[in-house]
Amino acid sequence: MAAAMPLALLVLLLLGPGGWCLAEPPRDSLREELVITPLPSGDVAATFQFRTRWDSELQREGVSHYRLFPKALGQLISKYSLRELHLSFTQGFWRTRYWGPPFLQAPSVWINLGRSSVMSSQGSSAPLSTSSTPPTQSLPLPPSNPWVWPMTLTTTFCAMLCCRGRWSAPKTSPPGRSSCPVVPRASLISFHLLQAGLSVLLKADRLFHTSYHSQAVHIRPVCRNARCTSISWELRQTLSVVFDAFITGQGKKDWSLFRMFSRTLTEPCPLASESRVYVDITTYNQDNETLEVHPPPTTTYQDVILGTRKTYAIYDLLDTAMINNSRNLNIQLKWKRPPENEAPPVPFLHAQRYVSGYGLQKGELSTLLYNTHPYRAFPVLLLDTVPWYLRLYVHTLTITSKGKENKPSYIHYQPAQDRLQPHLLEMLIQLPANSVTKVSIQFERALLKWTEYTPDPNHGFYVSPSVLSALVPSMVAAKPVDWEESPLFNSLFPVSDGSNYFVRLYTEPLLVNLPTPDFSMPYNVICLTCTVVAVCYGSFYNLLTRTFHIEEPRTGGLAKRLANLIRRARGVPPL
Amino acid sequence: MGLLSDPVRRRALARLVLRLNAPLCVLSYVAGIAWFLALVFPPLTQRTYMSENAMGSTMVEEQFAGGDRARAFARDFAAHRKKSGALPVAWLERTMRSVGLEVYTQSFSRKLPFPDETHERYMVSGTNVYGILRAPRAASTESLVLTVPCGSDSTNSQAVGLLLALAAHFRGQIYWAKDIVFLVTEHDLLGTEAWLEAYHDVNVTGMQSSPLQGRAGAIQAAVALELSSDVVTSLDVAVEGLNGQLPNLDLLNLFQTFCQKGGLLCTLQGKPEDWTSLDGPLQGLQTLLLMVLRQASGRPHGSHGLFLRYRVEALTLRGINSFRQYKYDLVAVGKALEGMFRKLNHLLERLHQSFFLYLLPGLSRFVSIGLYMPAVGFLLLVLGLKALELWMQLHEAGMGLEEPGGAPGPSVPLPPSQGVGLASLVAPLLISQAMGLALYVLPVLGQHVATQHFPVAEAEAVVLTLLAIYAAGLALPHNTHRVVSTQAPDRGWMALKLVALIYLALQLGCIALTNFSLGFLLATTMVPTAALAKPHGPRTLYAALLVLTSPAATLLGSLFLWRELQEAPLSLAEGWQLFLAALAQGVLEHHTYGALLFPLLSLGLYPCWLLFWNVLFWK
């Protein structure tokens, strides 16, 4: 599949025409950041974030002068009164069980449009979590035509987005938000416009040899001050990749920037006000000194990320001493003692989804939700969007934990409409401590009209992943941080309180085979039916219209006929 | 159609059917057999060709060079297996993890309905080990499976070694678009069945197993590997699966392509193909007959056979080490497998382009369904003709001779057997069906009673009960003939035979549609005697013929024919032993894998055959 998609790199850093040499203080700023995290399985995750913040009321003022903020997106915001836009393109699947919970959760394509509450500087609002405050302002809804959004986004991102049917809104999200959680297959072509700072590392042939690749754009308003009297617009472009340690490191878990990206850092981005590399050097063993980073970091940063205490080494590219010493910065990490070759620690929440059953008539969608926390139960919000051609039987919905039925505290089901809208099933399920919860629902495969099949019908039809949102209990209490000052990776989806952290997970997309006709069949069927109808019709017509009369049995054979022939020749009446 | 609406011509047709019935039947039967024999000759058999675009023209370069590694893995595996006496699960897990796979295990247990004496097992419990190679930048929606079934004996170590070496090689490549599952199952097919059921989260056969922890989406294709030596002289491919299901022909074409590319000697049914020599067609016929026999048996010939139920195209490759001169090492086999997997990796859709229903007279020749179905069609025509004759005779007998100008024929809606009364048919039908039901249920149900009262083991008890009930069915006519009125002596058996003929024709037709081989084999044997059976004439001869063509005798005969074709003829005693074992296996396979041959014979064909027996001894 990867070969079929012409992919290039997305960094929409559009250069404004010379605006930054003006005397007045720039109202927009760019921060860039790279976080490198060794994952529990031994692979290495690298997360780039480029954050552009613009102190401008895009929707109110007629803005025509753009500097760092891309004009195409700005116009999109002002034209459609957009309040938030989250769009991500992902190739691969974040394997939560082996890699731990992701920083930036993203399914294949995730589009989230419309209104939600303005992010306050304390960052108390978590998208899709049930505790989010309802919006206070009312703004015109996005255009009702469901095709306008995909079309506009398609032209902006040079991506192929198409949703079958109407986009639907989960009940628990703020009203007016339209979201198409996942388009399972989307093609993407985009452009890379600036090569400086951290984006030097974005070299396509390396990035596309990774196990996981996800790029995303998040646009949202943020408060300019604590009282939120005015707002700024924030654009975050993120790129997460996971390098396969087994292939790139030949079995060793050591890594360096050069080995991963085949480049090193040479200079900070001239436009960026902050340009930093964070390296996760948390040691899980009590006896320290198991790993070593080179060059030694000047500062470190400690915080509670996703429920665990982490230590990061910080490399600030704007610090002139960092690069000038050797003209380049090649961060390396070496394990002094190789970590034990044992099963990696399992995160508290992970999930698995599959289709069960065989044959082309019925099937069952099963989702396994694992809560591996030893003693805490926690609720999970499960959101399923199932295409209409899998006809769900809601009475077959069963949820079992530890062999007992688990009644969800909340269920919202919106049935599908053929060719218009998918099934939407939303449940709040309490996961008991240290348990596996199985959610299963049976479906019947619908027969499509023969023009509705895709060009490759025998490939199967994709069913989008389930979306799991949960507040998972933390190991350590997190203290509230200053949102504007903390690193970027910490502030996209901030924690809601100290004892829990918000996690959104996506399960695997599924591939379901529908009953597929042999497409040369219509021709055969037409030929056969016509023949049968013609033959039957002919004989019936014959029987109905014919008058029957009894014919004198002819006696005598050849001799009699001969005799008659002779008699006729003689002029005598025949026998 | 004018033929039927014209009373004169219809009468002529009826007369033709009545008068020329016997020669027509013989002609039709001979035509059926001749058509089948002609299937090996070029107009009917065609060269195979690759239909799937994604696997067709692209070439791949095989780079597998892990022969030494495979042998080392195989040695280690064999040593650990010998030490532990079972599948070395921990070692396998460790090794698979060290080559970079995601490893999971699955434990299962199954109590067989009665002890399996061929494999010496009764209470089976084991563990499957599988490792998943996750394709980079893919969301685990599709996967391929390479599986090695390990039995209780110490064969197949080399296959495990090759599987591990291939896994290590595949892990280092970046081109995978589908996940690859490397599966090692214990207790050969039982383990495979347990894994497949757990993977699809269904329970078809009452297997108890632990749920799977890791999955890899929809399985697109599977290859099972059986190797027992470091070098092979040829690779044999088995396609026949459960209930005669076959994988898509493209999978076989793929295998054949890589056989040719790697210069491997590949065989089908153990026979290399050679179409250039004079006796090529003869050899083709042998291969074809072997395939028909194996497909008709309905048992999975290799663990691939169980995948087919789940619509996973699969085949089994068997390394054969015989006395040929030229030998290939594991690298050659590994390269063929690597090539196959790389091409399967290119697949955009499930294999669906090529044939699903075919017969193979050789690896590079096939007969498509449209060309072999006439053979069984001709055979079933005999039953139709005979039934038509009986219908007309019954009709004429009922009408008497008062209306000589009337229109005797099938279009007159007069129930022919009304004179006899349908009641007389109900008893034999019910009794024969009840015998069939007893044959299906009693042997397994009554094994404990039998072992308590007779000095036999459970497996023996089942087989002997089976034979006893089967033979007891022959005493049936004496129980029913008193019910029948003596008014019209001929009409009773004629009506019964008519019903039996139609019943048989329907059954054989349905069987031939799903499993041609079984339908054809049964039609060849059952049709002539079914057409001949009547209570007049040389009854003992008919009875002997009928017994010889009963389903059980067909099974016995097929066993002899099979060994004859394999050039390993059986003596009578051996044949009988093999027959008893086959009966036990048939019942076991029905219960463990869901094979349908046993219920089909006991519930469908045996009662039908009893009806003919009933006709023969009509008084």
Write down the ipTM of this complex.
0.85
Instruction: Please check the confidence at residue A103 and state whether its pLDDT lies above 90.
Output: no
The nearest alpha carbon in chain A to B216 belongs to A354
B365 in Cβ contact with B47 (< 8 Å): yes
Task: From chain A, pick out residues whose CB is under 8 angstroms from the CB of B5.
Answer: 539, 542-543, 546
B386: left (phi over 0), alpha (psi -120 to 50) or beta: alpha
pLDDT at A25 over 90: no
pLDDT(B281) > 50: yes
pLDDT tens-place string over residues A27-53: 788 888 888 988 877 788 998 888 888
As a whole-number percent, the residues of chain A with pLDDT over 90 amount to 15
Q: How far apart are alpha carbons A366 and A398 in whole angstroms?
A: 10
Strand partners for A308: A305
pLDDT beyond 90 at B29: yes
DSSP codes joined into one string, A179-241: EE---S---B---B---SGGGGG--HHHHTTSSEEEEEEEEEEEESSTT-SSEEEEEEEEEEE
- What pLDDT, on a 0 to 100 scale, did the predictor assign at position B461? 86
> What is the b/e burial string over B533-561, where b = at least 16 CB atoms within 10 angstroms of the residue's CB?
bbbeeeeeebbebbeebbbbebbbbbbbb
Q: How far apart are CA A304 and CA A498, in angstroms?
A: 9
- Assign A346 to helix, strand or coil: coil
CA distances from B276 to A213, A273, B50, B122, B280 (A): 55, 79, 22, 49, 6
A501: which strand partners? A472
Q: Residues A289-301: pLDDT tens digits?
A: 677 887 888 888 8
Number of alpha carbons in the 13 Å side-chain half-sphere of residue B424? 27
pLDDT range class, residue B290, cuts 50, 70, 90: very high
Rounded mean pLDDT of B203-208?
A: 88
Contacts of A352 in chain B (CB under 8 A): 213-215
Return the DSSP state at B570: P
Decide: A57 and A195 in contact? Cβ < 8 Å. Answer: no
Residue A463: closest C-alpha in chain B? B141
Please answer yes or no on whether B350 and A358 come within 8 Å at the CB atom: no
Which chain A residues are within 8 Å of B200, Cβ to Cβ? 356-358
Given its phi and psi angles, is residue B218 left (phi above 0), alpha (psi -120 to 50 degrees) or beta?
beta
Residue A478 confidence class, pLDDT cut points 50, 70, 90: low
Question: Which 3 state secondary structure label does DSSP give A546?
Answer: coil
Q: Are A165 and A422 in contact (CB under 8 A)?
A: yes
pLDDT digits over A71-101, tens only? 878 877 777 777 777 777 788 888 888 888 8
Task: With beta carbons under 8 A apart, name residues in chain A contacting B8.
Answer: 551
- In the block, tokens 């099933």 appear at A425
With a pLDDT cut of 70, the percent of chain B lying above it is: 92
B 242-271 residues inside an 8 A Cβ radius of A: none
pLDDT at B346 over 80: yes
In sequence order, the 6+-apart residues with CB closer than 8 A to the CB of A392 are A365, A386, A415, A416, A423, A425, A441, A442, A443
pLDDT of residue B37: 93
Residues B492-534: pLDDT tens digits?
Answer: 788 888 999 999 999 999 999 999 999 999 999 999 988 888 8
Name the least confident of A109-118, A150-159, B544-553.
A109-118
Mean pLDDT, rounded, for A275-295? 74
Using alpha carbons, select from B219, B240, B259 the residue that is nearest to residue B302. Answer: B240
Among A351, A408, A399, A376, smallest CA distance to A472 is for A376
Residue B2: pLDDT band with limits 50, 70, 90: low
Q: Which helix (H) or strand (E) holds B201?
A: none
Nearest to A297 by CA among A282, A317, A315, A310: A315
**Tens digit of pLDDT for each residue in B363-381?**
889 999 999 999 999 999 9
Q: Comparing A392-396, A485-489, B55-59, B402-406, which segment has the lowest mean pLDDT? A: B402-406
Size of interface A-B (CB pairs under 8 A): 103
Residues of B whose CB is below 8 A from A546: 5
Q: Which residues are bridge partners to A521 per DSSP?
A: none
Substitution target from A97, A211, A253 for chain B, most B beta carbons within 10 A? A211
Residue A526 backbone dihedrals phi, psi, to 5 degrees: -60, -45
B97 in reach of chain A (CB within 8 A): yes
B218–A91 CB contact, under 8 Å: no
Cα-trace Rg, chain A: 33
Are A458 and B349 an interchain contact pair (Cβ–Cβ within 8 Å)? Answer: yes
Q: How far apart are CA A381 and CA A467, in angstroms?
A: 8
Q: What tokens appear for A268 in the block? A: 């900070």
**B369 and chain A in contact, CB less than 8 A:** no
Q: What band does B477 get if pLDDT is binned at 50, 70 and 90?
A: low
Residue B137: which of A213, A251, A341 has the nearest Cβ?
Answer: A213
Separation between Cα atoms, residue B360 and residue B49, nearest integer Å: 13
Residue-level pLDDT at A483: 61
Burial class (CB in 10 A: 0-12, 13-18, 19+), B598: buried
Handedness of CA B309, B315, B316, B322 (dihedral sign): positive
Instruction: Indicate yes or no: CB of B1 within 8 angstroms of CB of A459.
Output: no
Q: Do B174 and A247 touch (CB under 8 A)?
A: yes
For B203-255, give the DSSP string: -SS--EEPPPS---SEEEEEEEEE--SSEESEEEEE---GGG----HHHHHHH
Nearest to B389 by CA among B371, B376, B408, B375: B408
How confident is the model at residue A119, as a pLDDT?
31
Reported confidence tier of residue A258, pLDDT bands at 50, 70, 90: confident
Between helices B21-38 and B369-399, what is the axis angle to 10°? 170
Taking only residues 165 to 184 of chain B, the set having a beta carbon closer than 8 angstroms to any beta carbon of chain A reads 171-172, 174, 177
How far apart, in whole angstroms, are the C-alpha atoms of residue B592 and residue B325? 40
- pLDDT above 50 (res A120): no
More confident residue, B406 or A534: A534
- pLDDT surpassing 90 at residue A413: yes
Which residues neighbour A562 within 8 Å (Cβ) at sequence distance 6 or greater? none
Find, in chain A, the residue whose alpha carbon is nearest to that of B1.
Answer: A539
Which region among B17-31, B55-69, B156-170 has the lowest average model confidence (pLDDT)? B55-69
How buried is B42 (Cβ within 10 angstroms: 0-12 exposed, 13-18 middle, 19+ buried)? exposed
Torsion over CA of B554, B557, B563 and B566, rounded to 10 degrees?
-70
Q: How far from B286 is each of B42, B268, B272, B495, CA to CA, in Å?
A: 16, 11, 11, 41
Contacts of residue A208 in chain B, CB cutoff 8 Å? 137
Least confident interval from A167-171, B14-18, B26-30, B209-213: A167-171
Tokens representing residue B260 in the block: 């040719």
Residue B349: list chain A partners with CB under 8 A: 456-459
> Quick one: tokens of A162?
């198409």
| From A281-285, B234-238, B256-260, the region with the lowest mean pLDDT | A281-285
Among the residue ranges A283-297, B274-288, B310-324, the one predicted with the least confidence is A283-297
- Comparison of pLDDT for B279 and B501, the residue scoring more: B501
Picking from B2, B218, B580, B311, the residue whose alpha carbon sits closest to that of residue A509 is: B218
> Cα–Cα distance between B20 and A118 in angstroms, integer?
93
| CB B338, CB B133: distance < 8 Å | no
In this prediction, residues B5-20 reach a mean pLDDT of 77
Inspect the interface and report whether the beta carbons of A341 and B172 lie closer than 8 Å.
Answer: no
Look at A458 and B215 and tell me if their CB atoms are within 8 Å.
no
Please choose, from the candidates B334, B320, B332, the residue with its C-alpha nearest in 3D space to the C-alpha of residue B223.
B334
pLDDT band at A180 (very low <50, low <70, confident <90, very high): very low
- Token pair, residue B361, equals 């007279």
| Helices and strands per DSSP (H, E), number in chain A | 9, 25
Quick one: closest CA in A to B219, which residue?
Answer: A511
For residue A53, with 0-12 CB atoms within 10 Å meaning exposed, 13-18 middle and 19 or more buried, which class applies? buried
A362 by DSSP, 3-state: which?
A: strand
Cβ atoms of A197 and A189 closer than 8 Å: no
Contact at CB, B5 and A539, closer than 8 angstroms = yes
3-state DSSP assignment of residue A359: coil
Q: Which of A210, A352, A553 sits opposite B137 (nearest CB)?
A: A210
DSSP string, B358-401: EEEEETTEEEEHHHHHHHHHHHHHHHHHHHHHHHHHHHHHHHTT
The alpha carbon of residue B204 is apart from the nearest alpha carbon of chain A, in Å, by: 10
Name the token pair of A477: 């209490």
Q: Which of B2, B136, B217 sits opposite A542 (nearest CB)?
A: B2
Top mean pLDDT of A247-261, B403-417, B603-617 is at: B603-617
Most confident of A338-342, B1-5, B231-235: B231-235
pLDDT of residue A3: 34
Q: Is the dihedral of CA B528, B534, B538, B539 positive or negative?
A: positive
Q: What is d(CA B338, CA B168) in angstroms, rounded to the nearest whole number? A: 12
For chain B, the C-alpha Rg in angstroms (whole number) is 28
Residue of A nearest to B143 (CA): A511
* Amino acid in position A263: R
What Cα–Cα distance (Å) separates residue B555 from each residue in A36, B378, B530, B561, B595? Answer: 68, 22, 17, 10, 16
Q: Given an 8 Å threshold on Cβ–Cβ distance, is B136 in contact with A542? A: no
Q: Is the pLDDT confidence value at A126 over 50?
A: no
Strands A500-506 and A467-473, sheet pairing: antiparallel
Q: Does B403 touch chain A (CB under 8 A)?
A: no
Supply the DSSP symbol for A409. Answer: S
Residues of B in contact with A462 (CB under 8 A): 141
Q: Residue A342 pLDDT > 90, yes or no?
A: no
Query: How much of chain B, in percent, has pLDDT values that exceed 90?
Result: 46
Among the partner-chain residues A212, A358, A509, the one whose CB lies closest to the CB of B309 is: A358
- State residue A494's pLDDT score: 58
Q: Which of A90-94, A348-352, B11-15, B292-296 has the lowest mean pLDDT?
A: B11-15
What was the pLDDT predicted at B608?
Answer: 92
Model confidence band, residue A561 (pLDDT cutoffs 50, 70, 90): confident
Contacts 24+ apart (CB under 8 A), B423-426: B423/B483, B424/B483, B424/B484, B424/B485, B424/B492, B424/B495, B424/B496, B425/B495, B425/B496, B425/B499
Q: What percent helix, strand, coil does chain A show, rounded to 5?
A: 15, 35, 50
pLDDT of residue A41: 79
